[in-house]
Structure 1
Amino acid sequence: MCSWTQLWCFSFLYTVQLFVHRPHLGKGWPFHWLLYGPLVDYVLAYHDATVIREGPAPDPKGRYLFAMYPHGVYGVCRAFSGGVGCWQALFPGIAARWGSFGAAFFLPGIREMSLFSGCIDASKPVLERAINRGENVMLLPGGIDEMNLTDGESKETKLVMTDRKGFVKLSIENGMDIIPGFCFGEKWIHHTIRLPHFIQRILRPLRMSDTLLRGRGITLMGFLDPPLAYVWGEPIKVRQQKPVDDKYLDEVHQKVAESVVSIFKRYKARFGYAEDETISLVSAADAKRKAR
């Protein structure tokens, strides 16, 4: 269909635009057509997913930071941030930009999918510019450290949370209420395969995952037992401060942690978790040590 010369030219031009065209550091790409379209509903329907919002619908005129847990290896929980039957029904009149790790925007395919889904760089300056434009923010605060702790064979779900307070500080500085949530079944969607240690040592400084996925058959399509579910907690009200008082920062952070743990304990039996399944909060340093 095309010559090797054409393929090399395309590859060269694509590589150049990775470094020249950087919309993730600006306003990103138009994303409502995909993130809030029917495709996301099909993904949730495939997983026979359930989503719950506790409390009344938030005020569309408010400002919100959505904090999702746990990260998971594939991050399928992101599907609960969109759709027509899902998101638009539970959070009418509200949209949010995703903050994503910078390396994602240099990976072919992942870059385009991220931009089409509304992702921008998760660095503080980029997120603050989005907030100043009047946009809400969606984050997976546990990041790659939490991703590497995903273990479907463990009875303990570990969240990298004790020292991850940057998202709370961002919300306080900008007067954004925090809406936390927990995804049930994320750790069972895919089977995980850890890469050899010498590859892990190369990838970790780049903040990239050292885990491969295995889905149904030869595909990456997720396993369906138990069905996927997500629970959004009630908004945690935030009083704007700048500079942020450390005591108030710890207070709000503690409320977020308590909300996530409470959601897990109250809903785990309903969504297929055994009685002896537990949840624990760890630091990023602990996560790095345990992932070795």
Structure 2
Amino acid sequence: MVKFAPLKIPLERRLQTAAVLQWVFSFLALAQCCLVLFIALLFTRFWLISVLYATWWFLDIDTPSKGGRPHRLLRQSIVWRYFKDYFPITLVKTADLDPRQNYVLAFHPHGVLIAGAFANFCTEATGFPDLFPGMSPYLLMLPLWFRVPFFRDYILAGGLIPSDRDSASYLLRKKDGGNVVVIAIGGAPESLDARPGAYTLLLKNRKGFIKLAIQHGTPLVPAFSFGENEVFDQVSNPKGTWLRRAQEKLQKIMGVALPLFHARGVFQYSFGLMPYRKPIFTVVGKPLKVEMKSNPSPEEIDELHKKYIEHLCQLFEEHKTKYGVPEDVHLTFI
């Protein structure tokens, strides 16, 4: 039985739904549409647009790896306030960040569409500049998307940069500080385990961010997004099943994961690709001091990795009951 949305819904809620709808579209299809548009224009009388853009792209090719091009006009758009209020999404501060330093902020969990990280670090809707004055967040994203015409400029304006070592190092090397490099540690593979009630993190063998922090002497900041996995359901895909094997193989080939997620629709609540209206609380923990070493040994990386996991678990245990996580639930790592 399909449960339809009532006809009389406040305008505020309709605007929230519209804001999230365009975000889902942007996440799932905007890049493909931009690529098709770029190619299609070449075969019309407007071919010059694509040619001029290609010239601009060539001249601007290093920008993503040189700190990007965040634009406050996009980050402060009223659309993101409606987006934030749909769930709603809240950014929770537990400690100050020194604007004279740079930081590596490790975000957990990835979720299906990483809604919490986007709202908190690619927009100003949840108040990042007020909570952390003097700090500028940069969320890492697969380099693949920065090769898509038009789309690359859109994500650059949101403060996204490629998820490669050079891009992160460029910001962490800046001596005047004030940069927060945000890394969703589990990445796309972790999204295959994102479902309500899941607290499994892909972290056991994820040590690149640890080495990056040591090489730059950059403090590590854990952030856990309570509710991130609650906003979408996912088709059952336990490890070892044909579906999971197919998803993992496609992920290795394409570089992006393809979770078969579902939730609600725009005009009905029974099925669709719109997320559920479930609250998300992104708690930013205290910085973990890191001693700088240009060439850390595997033992030094393992030691800091272990210390980081303890730091993250402490953050989770301290806050979980405030945000509806049962007392007997703990983080597990794979």
The question of a shared fold, defined as TM-score above 0.5 by the shorter chain, is answered with yes
2:259 alignment counterpart: 211
Paired residue type of 1:62: Q
Q: Is the 8 A contact 1:39 1:83 kept in 2?
A: no
1:140 alignment counterpart: 184
Mark the runs of 5 or more structure 1 residues left unpaired by the alignment: 283-292
1:167 and 1:188, CA in 2 relative to 1: closer, same or farther beyond 3 A?
same
**Deviates further, 184-193 or 244-253:** 244-253
* Structure 2 residue matching 1:180: 3-state secondary structure: strand
Alpha-carbon shift at residue 200 of structure 1 (Å): 5.8
Q: Is the 8 A contact 2:250 2:257 kept in 1?
A: no
1:268 alignment counterpart: 320
1:201 alignment counterpart: 249
Give the alignment partner of residue 193 of structure 2, picking from 134, 146, 149. 149
Alpha-carbon shift at residue 110 of structure 1 (Å): 5.3
Alpha-carbon shift at residue 36 of structure 1 (Å): 5.6
Q: For each residue in 1:213-251, what CA deviation from the matched residue of structure 2 results, as whole angstroms up to 9, or x when unmatched?
A: 4343146442123x1111111010111111113333222
Alpha-carbon shift at residue 37 of structure 1 (Å): 5.8
Alpha-carbon shift at residue 46 of structure 1 (Å): 2.2
Give the alignment partner of residue 97 of structure 2, picking from 48, 58, 78. 58
2:329 alignment counterpart: 277
Paired residue type of 1:93: G
- How far apart are the structure 2 equivalents of 1:32 and 1:58? 21
- How far apart are the structure 2 equivalents of 1:13 and 1:214? 39
2:295 alignment counterpart: 243
- How far apart are the structure 2 equivalents of 1:205 and 1:141? 20
Q: For each residue in 1:162-219, what CA deviation from the matched residue of structure 2 results, as whole angstroms up to 9, or x when unmatched?
A: 1111111111111111111100111111233579665763443221121244343146
1:14 and 1:202, CA in 2 relative to 1: closer, same or farther beyond 3 A?
farther
2:18 alignment counterpart: none
1:10 and 1:71, CA in 2 relative to 1: closer, same or farther beyond 3 A?
farther
- How far apart are the structure 1 equivalents of 2:41 and 2:253? 37
2:74 alignment counterpart: 34
Paired residue type of 2:44: Q
1:111 and 1:249, CA in 2 relative to 1: closer, same or farther beyond 3 A?
same
Q: Is the 8 A contact 1:38 1:83 kept in 2?
A: no
- How far apart are the structure 2 equivalents of 1:220 and 1:111? 24
1:4 and 1:26, CA in 2 relative to 1: closer, same or farther beyond 3 A?
closer
* Structure 1 residue matching 2:193: 3-state secondary structure: coil
Larger Rg: 2
1:264 and 1:109, CA in 2 relative to 1: closer, same or farther beyond 3 A?
farther
Seq. identity, %: 23
- How far apart are the structure 2 equivalents of 1:233 and 1:70? 14
1:24 alignment counterpart: 64
- How far apart are the structure 2 equivalents of 1:236 and 1:36? 30
Mark the runs of 5 or more structure 2 residues left unpaired by the alignment: 1-39, 267-271
Q: Does 1:171 align with 2:213?
A: yes
- How far apart are the structure 1 equivalents of 2:45 and 2:195? 40
- How far apart are the structure 2 equivalents of 1:211 and 1:80? 23
Give the alignment partner of residue 171 of structure 2, picking from 130, 143, 148. 130
Give the alignment partner of residue 6 of structure 1, picking from 27, 44, 47. 44
- How far apart are the structure 2 equivalents of 1:139 and 1:257? 15
1:223 and 1:137, CA in 2 relative to 1: closer, same or farther beyond 3 A?
same
Q: How many positions carry a matched residue from both structures?
A: 277
- How far apart are the structure 2 equivalents of 1:41 and 1:112? 21
Question: RMSD of the alignment, in Å?
Answer: 3.3
- How far apart are the structure 2 equivalents of 1:245 and 1:3? 52
- How far apart are the structure 2 equivalents of 1:278 and 1:7? 60
- How far apart are the structure 2 equivalents of 1:165 and 1:4? 44
**Please, what TM-score do these two structures have when normalized by structure 2?**
0.71
**Please, what TM-score do these two structures have when normalized by structure 1?**
0.80
- How far apart are the structure 1 equivalents of 2:215 and 2:247? 39
1:84 and 1:217, CA in 2 relative to 1: closer, same or farther beyond 3 A?
closer
1:28 and 1:7, CA in 2 relative to 1: closer, same or farther beyond 3 A?
farther
Q: For each residue in 1:35-62, what CA deviation from the matched residue of structure 2 results, as whole angstroms up to 9, or x when unmatched?
A: 366554443222223332213x221111
